[in-house]
Structure 1
Amino acid sequence: MKRVIVLSTLAMTSLLSGCVGYPRLLAEPFDPGGRSLNSISEDSSPRVAGRFVVLTSDRRFSQDVYLYDLQERRLVDLPGLNSLDAIASSPDVSEDGRYIVFAASRQGRSDIYIYDRSIRQLRNLTSDLQMTVRNPTLSADGSTIAFEADANGQWDIFVYDRSGRPIVGPGAMP
């Protein structure tokens, strides 16, 4: 069933393969070892941007972020991104695949993280916020991150730039 969910999402973006005029199902191989897009593990929150699919999966006995390159048809190595002490969720990726944003929970605290593939750097964007955060999304060029935060007993939308400065929300410049 999980394979159908991933393929359904990918079918909507089948024009990435260069076929124009009709949708085409992307038939990625199933790999019981978890080295392909489809696996026996629980894969969730797939997002597509350009030639990349980002998702979370429990393939290595922890909830991690995975990036799949549709053009090269392989998982992309993400050194320094995943951690055994964090539960990742809600990933998103920039159009060029350079930036990945996701929520993670560590020791009962949730934060929003951004990973820069070109320099292999993971940064916590919300370490100064004393509230629960969730559901980040990334602009196509990777410059802007929006997410939900439970400020004042309600869920509000916060918008930050890639460096972690608020654009909209508490602390934002008018």
Structure 2
Amino acid sequence: MKRFIFASLFVGSLLSGCVGYPRILNFPFDSSGRSLNSPYLENSPQVSARFIVFTSDRNGSQDVYLFDAQTRRLIDLPGLNALDEIASHPSITEDGKYIVFAGTRQGRTNIYIYNRETQQKRNVTSNLQADVRNPSISADGSRIAFEIAKNGQWDIAVYDISETKLIE
């Protein structure tokens, strides 16, 4: 069985020049859920140079959230979350332009990519006849790696964004 290794939750650029890793970043607690730390369930955090992407059940469904560590606020993601979809395992590019995540609707999970500049979400696995999970996007946003269940086992698939196809 092939295994996929995910990046650790250490804040790269936010900690550059700092001594003593790992370091806990102290973001404020907000009981209303408008900050990074809240009384709600936060899952699968992933860090880029400036951003922290995660899923949370703050609005009664599990959605993707984006926190800007420099401005210390949540960023709106219009067109990303859907009421009938459960989001999980988000990943973000180093510049924060692209977010990928697994979205489950009616028992079927697909991998989606969201462009923050165009506010467009695209399903990259809609034509696959297989189960998928745990996406991760490259730092430059050129490729998405995810697990795919075909032939009775979980393997790793890589999707080339520029060619909009799986790399065999």
TM norm structure 2? 0.89
The amino acid that maps onto 2:84 is D
- 3-state DSSP of counterpart to 1:110: strand
Is 1:86 the equivalent of 2:79? no
Q: Partners in 1 of 2:67 and 2:38 — Cα distance?
A: 13
Partner of 2:43: 44
Q: Counterparts of 1:5-84 in structure 2 under 5 Å?
A: 9=9, 12-13=10-11, 16=14, 19-23=17-21, 24-84=23-83
Deviation at 1:20, TM superposition (A): 2.6
Runs of 4+ in 1 over 4 A off after TM superposition: none
CA offset digits 1:15-56 (Å, max 9, x no partner): 615653235432111111111000111101001111111100
- Coordinate RMSD, CA, aligned: 1.7
Q: Counting helix residues as a fraction of each chain, which structure ranks higher?
A: 1
Q: Where do 5+ consecutive residues of structure 2 fail to align?
A: 1-8
Q: Partners in 2 of 1:131 and 1:17 — Cα distance?
A: 39
Per mean C-alpha deviation after superposition, the further-off stretch among 13-22 and 157-166 is 13-22
Partner of 1:3: none
TM norm structure 1? 0.86
Q: Where do 5+ consecutive residues of structure 1 fail to align?
A: 1-8, 169-174
Q: Partners in 2 of 1:15 and 1:160 — Cα distance?
A: 26
Q: How many residues matched? A: 159
Contact 1:14 1:26 in 2 (8 A): no
Partner of 1:100: 99
* Distance change >3 Å, CA 131–CA 18, structure 1 → 2: closer
> Could you say which structure has the greater relative contact order, defined with CA pairs below 8 angstroms and 6 or more residues apart?
2
